[in-house]
Structures are given as structure tokens and as C-alpha cells.
Amino acid sequence: MSDAYPRNLVLVGFMGAGKSTIGKMLADALSWRFIDLDHVIEAQAGQTISGIFSTSGEALFRQMESAALRMLQLQDSCVIATGGGIVGRAENWVTMRQLGVTIYLQASWETLAARLAGCTNRPLARQEQGVERVRALYDSRLPLYRQADIVVDTDQGDPSEVAVEIIRQLKESGLWQKN
């Protein structure tokens, strides 16, 4: 593959935005590899994300998350789905920009609230968190997600249509080019 392509595509967005589902489809469409950063962390820790949160706490999880992201630096031709909180640390932005083009999968609060209702495997979106706190987290992260190179709306269209739209926007913005 030509050097003019981005090395990797890095998907960011709130929990429930469809980073994993859309990321897999995008990787298939490009014949690239798909990496789910949460799965990398779980494999390295030998524990689920919920387990890490309950035994070690969020602060340690964030350190593991940054370390796992840095370990991807040698990869290329990968679509990488990150966890919704990756955008909170400035150092993660440095790593993500080194990895390739960042893509924000945008979704409205209404869409996300419906998708996250009844969710039990995300420590920061469980019902006992209280919907107002999850909403406040969403609002506080919006300006961070918007630092991504391109923004793609996921409210409309099924995941395969969003994947096609990502490729269209990459080409249109000149971020995806052959020599």
C-alpha cells in the first residue's frame, strides 16, 4: 500500500457510538486489520474492563489504556476502535495522531441513551451511575471528540453506510490518497 495512505484509522466517540461495529466493517471494506483497544487491554490484564475498574479503579485503567495505545505504534493498515474515554488525556492525542487519522463517530445524546439503556458491561454507563451523570460525561467530552481530523454522523444509516461515508470523507478531505 502506498505511503500516501494514512498509516491507520483511529475511531473515537462516546460509548455506544458503534466504534467496534463500524470499525470492523471499515476494516473489512479496506482489507485492513481491526483492533479493539479495550480487548487489547483485557488480554494484557487477563481481566475484563469491568473487573479492572472494580479491582484497580479508573485511574489505573487510564494508565493501562494509554500504555496499550502506545504499544500499537508499530502497527499499520489497522482500523483501531478506542474506548470512549481515550480523549481525556492529552498524551493519548499525541499517540493517536502518530498512529494515523482520527475519526469521531458522532451520535446525539438521544441515540446514545437509547443504545446504552440496560447496559451492564460498561462501568461508566451502568444504570446505577445515574443517567444524569452519564449525560454530564457525554457533554464534557464533546469538545474533546471534536479534535478529531474528521467527524462522521452515526445517528442515521446502518453501520455499513457509515463505513462507506467515512471512506468518502477521507477521500474528499484529501486524507486518503494514492501517490
In the complex, which residues of this chain contact ligand S3P (CB under 6 A)? 15, 19, 38, 49, 83-85, 122-124
SS3 116: helix
Closest residue to ligand S3P in the complex (CB): 83
- Rounded CA gap, 127 and 99, in Å? 34
Q: Which residue, 6 or 85, has its beta carbon nearer to ligand S3P?
A: 85
Decide if 39 contacts 83 (C-beta within 8 A). no
Based on CB atoms, which residue is closest to ligand S3P, 19 or 100? 19
Compute the least distance from the CB of residue 8 to ligand S3P, in Å.
Answer: 17
Distance of CA 178 to the CA centre of its chain: 25
Instruction: Say if CB 124 and CB 85 are below 8 A apart.
Output: yes
CB of 93 vs ligand S3P, minimal distance in Å: 15
CB of 51 to ligand S3P, least distance (A): 11
Q: 34 or 176: whose CB is closer to ligand S3P?
A: 34
Looking at beta carbons only, is 91 or 172 nearer to ligand S3P? 91
We find the least distance from the C-beta atom of residue 171 to ligand S3P, in angstroms, to be 27
The DSSP bridge partners found for residue 81 are 11, 36
Among 15, 21, 14, 28, CA closest to 167: 28
Cα gap 29→134, rounded to integer Å: 33
